[in-house]
Amino acid sequence: MAKNSKKAATGGLIALLMLLMAACSKKDNLTLRNEQFPLVAVGNSGISGTVFIAENLDSSFNVTIRLNSSVRDSIHIMNVYNGDQNNTSNIAVKLTDIKGTGGAVIGETKNIRQAVENAGNYSPVTYDKVLKQTMVVKVFLSQHRSDSLLCRGEIGK
């Protein structure tokens, strides 16, 4: 009987190791998704760019803004708004500001998990949820000149 117990234990251990290896290989093959959307210059600002939305393992997401140029010594304010370009009601996600250098710049806001809904309440948000609705990214000259829109672009749907 001792031989059968050892064989059963060894067989169980082998089965457990195979199961663990299969689980690890599934994680290794996981592909995270990303999308990109254009930012179009407003007026004669001459500043345009790209918005990148990237999925994280925990379903949160990152937003990266790449501007083709910037205004030197300005802190460009960036936000994601609910609605489309003609109907932006409120800020859904406050993005990290970008310091202007006079050249191309990149800013990234990581691990976004919450957004403000149209009703003004915070709600959980995931990569999938943000791309299933229409939202607008706007980049302004600075906090003191929030009426000076440099570029904008729709994300989602």
20 has pLDDT over 80: no
Per-residue pLDDT tens over the stretch 70-86: 999 999 999 999 887 77
Q: What is the pLDDT of residue 147?
A: 75
Which residues touch 50 (CB under 8 Å, ≥6 apart)? 36, 37, 38, 39, 65, 66
- Which residue is it, tokens 């060894």? 10
Task: State the fold for domain 34-155.
Answer: Immunoglobulin-like (2.60.40)
Residue spans per domain, the chain: 1-30, 34-155
Given this model, what pLDDT does residue 86 score? 74
Q: What mean pLDDT is reported for the chain?
A: 84
pLDDT at 41 over 90: yes
Task: Tell me the CA end-to-end span of the chain in Å, nearest whole number.
Answer: 65
The Cα 20–Cα 30 span in angstroms is 16
Q: Stretch 84-92: mean pLDDT, rounded? A: 76
Give the model's pLDDT for residue 127: 93
Predicted confidence at residue 32, as pLDDT, reads: 94
Q: What is the pLDDT of residue 37?
A: 97
- The answer to whether residue 12 scores a pLDDT higher than 70 is no
